[in-house]
Structure 1
Amino acid sequence: MSAVVWISAGSLVAWLWLLLGQGFFWRTDLRLPPRREPDTWPSVCIVVPARDEAAVLPDSLPSLLAQDYPGRAEIFLVDDGSSDGTGGLARALADRHGGLALTVGSPGEPPPGWTGKLWAVRHGMGLARARAPRYLLLTDADIAHEPDNLRELVAAAETSGCELVSQMARLRVESGWERLVVPAFVYFFAQLYPFRWIARRGSRTAAAAGGCVLVSSEAAERAGIPDSIRHAVIDDVSLARAVKRSGGHIWLGLADRVDSVRPYPGLGSLWRMVSRSAYAQLRHSPLLLLGTVLGLALVYLVPPVALLSGLATGHAVPAVLGGLAWLVMTATYVPMLRYYGLPLRLAPLLPFTAFLYLLMTVDSAVQHYRGRGAAWKGRTYARPDPTPDQN
């Protein structure tokens, strides 16, 4: 057998494994666990780190202020050195809309070893500590919540016994590039962190979606959150790992009633969203980068290349193998497109989107070695020194 046939066969085998052996990552039916309303609703503090978010805050903060929660709840928005009047706008929105009590704080610049977001979260958690809440809802400034979302999250946590319940917000898919890139982002995330494995007790797989994380105060304190992950660029995954490592039961699924309002109208903004943390995800390892590039090529690029080249040269075996692998790939992507309400004709384009992600990942490494690291809103984070919680 030729090398082309072997490579094509390897790609098909990889896709059969992904279809059946990777926690059914492609299914999109995992929602909040079964829940019932508690007899007594526990107290909750909502912590919102915000840096230069004046453009999206009018579409997100009112949804938090309007939460229909039967227990005690209040919001702590941390203005993380904004230059666009984020803090003042937050106060004005609270005065205009009413609802839950809002406190706006400012932590100052983060000290060495801290990312800005986690320094802001630490400040918000410190403000909340005086209220002794049972739960903390950590949410981003660009996330809009339906009025009953806090109630549903708490009910799910209380019923299931989970100490961390997280929902992956539905991202915006209005522009052409958003439709092409965004569903694949969630699809790749689920492939890397199968949601069903995350919820399994004893499994080492752990992840959360930073836009919507309900965590018990006890679990956060036991896991040393956020100090134990102060350097983390991918803070949501690090948070979930810390909670699970400390013995907490965690859950992550897709959301129906939590939406991101942040626009990514062009490829450039989407590229920056992915590339700022892609190499950090690979622990800044050249070997992991090489393995990732080769893996993406084998799994996503070989099928269409084998099919098209086989048809062009008249070699049936690689064409059939590549076509079958591409068919399985396309079929696994269909549920995600349905979840986002997008046309299924986008499914066969997944190899092209994967190629873009490959380039974004390589660019992330290039920027790291140029000294730019993970850049976000005027801050650049270099590779952190190894610490025990990274193991």
Structure 2
Amino acid sequence: MSHAPQLRIPATYMRGGTSKGVFFRLDDLPEAARVPGPARDALLMRVIGSPDPYGKHTDGMGGATSSTSKCVIIGKGTKPGHDVDYLYGQVSIDTAFVDWSGNCGNLSTAVGPFAIANGFIDPARLPKDGMFEVRVWQANIGKTIVVHVPIANGEVQEMGDFELDGVTFPAAEIVLEFIDPADDDAEGGAMFPTGNVLDTLDVPGLGKIEATLINAGIPTIFVRAEALGFDGTELQEAVNGNGQALATLEALRAHGALRMGLIDSLAGAANRQHTPKVAWVAKPKVYAASSGKRIEAGDVDLLVRAMSMGKLHHAMMGTAAVAIATAAAVPGTVVSEAAGGGEREAVTFGHPSGTLRVGAQAEQVDGRWVVRKAAMSRSARVLMEGVVRVPST
């Protein structure tokens, strides 16, 4: 019996923020996978090692967590004023499914360095030393991201002294700007799909619960920690091993998704795992981060914990951080309430791995809230580059 050799596909394994994933140039993919569809999904699942009933990704590049089962496809910019198109796939761990419904804010950080290092930017445009703005079209959600990449001696500077909670080693600081991150086409009006800054959901097991439903950065459902029986200082082990809590949070996610118009029925949530996110907020208090670092109440404006792909995230998704900053800037949301109320342009929040500061510029236009820009600092680094091997059948 003959066996076909494995495919060899050029790829780069990169960390961006607190996530990591496999990056591809669109033109390097097999022809059938250069367009959306089953062939592309099957390829990316096999690259990651999904679906894996053992939950380990032993036979693939994934890390069996929502932060490490990711793929990115970068192509030449197709929109005026943009350098590259960026497409993000969140690969399910234990089911045969790739979710294309949203962006990864953390991996957005790595798109700029990847674009420069892989020939998408004319070297003549790069400074010898300084900062270079890579303008990225985020194709999943149709939004612009500006990645400010440090350049040293005409190349991407990766090393530096910028420290990011949730990442062990320091690296060069990269500033991300998410331009007009709210969904202007959301049913009910811009970034609040229902038209309200505060809604009430009726969820089995929880009863009636107040929530802020927002679509900025990524669709997110914010609730008060105490409404879930939490206090906002939870680490992963307190939630991810609690089957009842996970089921309740998934029910909340489904009901919120339905109210936001993201799904047509509660059953539809199973096929939309990446979005919306569920997060709970609380007023500042002392807690120990997952590294053991003590976070003082005075270090933060509020505490936030967020779910990703059915598990408590080890830090914070970059897109959810945009949602946090935006909701904090709008009086009357549960996020603003936890942060002390009023309008603000920046917020520092505590998450399981430490703290993060993020800014957002929100304003009312014709009676509706809009957000012009959100910004945060992250870092990125190439972990490995070469070819990824994938069975051809």
Instruction: Tell me the TM-score normalized by structure 1.
Output: 0.25
Structure whose residues are more often helix by fraction = 1
Structure whose residues are more often strand by fraction = 2
Structure number, greater radius of gyration: 1
Instruction: Tell me the TM-score normalized by structure 2.
Output: 0.25
